[in-house]
Amino acid sequence: MSLLYRSTVAFADKFVPPKLQPLWNHPAGPKTIFFWAPLFKWSLVMAGLSDLARPAEKLSVPQSAALSATGVVWARYSMVIIPKNWSLFSVNLFVALTGLYSLSRAVNYQYFVKDKLPAHENLAVTKSS
């Protein structure tokens, strides 16, 4: 696989315009995993944004907490590695923000709203015959 990747990059080198050479040859540029990993991680942000449309009772507190924590940890990590990876920082910042927002909605529902709903609206309450 690495032979295929290296030959593809060598072929693409010929077509990169001179103005884009600094980006192309950057230590965190498209020739490295430091570029592609954050690019694909944006799918987590899109998934987090799609959770905004979900009802709060269907959000998971542990899942939202884990997503928030990983976003915060990796955002911090992206600032201490060399080279500093600003694309990794930005994607993890957004992962943390979407996770924190979902976490706040889920916690608000679980601990403040659910107990105050009338019994017929609270799906957790079931009648036993």
Farthest CA pair distance, the chain: 77
Does residue 68 carry a pLDDT above 90?
yes
Count other C-beta atoms under 10 Å from residue 48's C-beta: 22
Claim to verify: residue 51 and residue 108 sit in the same structural domain: yes
Burial class (CB in 10 A: 0-12, 13-18, 19+), 50: exposed
Residue 121 lies in a domain: no
Give the whole-angstrom CA distance, residue 15 versus residue 105.
48
For residue range 112-124, list pLDDT tens digits in order: 777 766 655 555 5
pLDDT at position 24 is 87
**Overall average pLDDT of the 83-87 stretch:** 84
pLDDT at position 117 is 63
pTM summary value? 0.73
Claim to verify: residue 39 and residue 22 sit in the same structural domain: no
Claim to verify: residue 19 and residue 59 sit in the same structural domain: no
Residue 92 lies in a domain: yes
Structural domains counted in the chain: 2
Indicate the average pLDDT of the chain: 85
pLDDT at position 128 is 41
Residue 89 lies in a domain: yes
Q: Which domain holds residue 12?
A: 1-27
For residue range 2-32, list pLDDT tens digits in order: 888 888 888 988 888 989 888 888 887 888 8
Residue 128 lies in a domain: no
> Which comes out higher in pLDDT, residue 100 or 1?
100
- Token look-up 């990794």 returns 88
Claim to verify: residue 76 and residue 111 sit in the same structural domain: yes
